[in-house]
């Protein structure tokens, strides 16, 4: 399993058709840095399969971004990993460190 940062990641060179497919599936490409980022998650399952195929791996996941502290973290660090319906998808969540905070709900309401 490969874990990527949704804000910026690199892929090996792909042909024109596969490049266009990645863009249609929701990636954006930064030509200056030669990196991709997720622009939208409308076709996330197909996008994950396509990236896994390009990287020749069984599974690709993305880091989560904590809505409270802004830290990036992998889903596997979370104690709710097995119960989560959106695990390994590039969304925002609450990191394990912030989950331990006694004032979790108050902090969440303050941020949002």
pTM score over 0.75: yes
- Is the confidence at residue 55, as pLDDT, over 90? yes
SS3 75: helix
CA-nearest of 40, 38, 103 to 68 is: 103
Q: Is the pLDDT of residue 79 over 90?
A: no
Q: Which of these ranges, 16-30, 34-48, 85-99, has the smallest mean pLDDT? A: 85-99
| pLDDT, position 111 | 72
How far is it, in rounded angstroms, from Cα 74 to Cα 62?
7
Q: Give the contacts of 99 (CB within 8 A, at least 6 positions apart).
A: 78, 79
Domain boundaries, the chain: 2-62, 64-111
Average pLDDT score over the chain: 89
């Amino acid at each position: 399993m490969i874990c990527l940062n949704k804000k910026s990641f690199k892929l090996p060179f792909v042909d024109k058709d596969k490049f266009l497919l990645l863009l249609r599936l929701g990636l954006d490409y930064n030509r200056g840095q030669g990196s991709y980022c997720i622009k939208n998650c409308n076709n996330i399952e197909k996008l994950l399969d396509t990236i896994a195929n390009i990287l020749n791996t069984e599974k690709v996941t993305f880091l989560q971004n904590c809505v409270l502290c802004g830290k990036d973290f992998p889903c596997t660090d979370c104690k709710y990993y097995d119960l989560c319906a959106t695990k390994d998808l590039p969304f925002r969540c609450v990191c394990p460190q912030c989950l331990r905070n006694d004032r979790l709900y108050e902090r969440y309401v303050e941020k949002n």
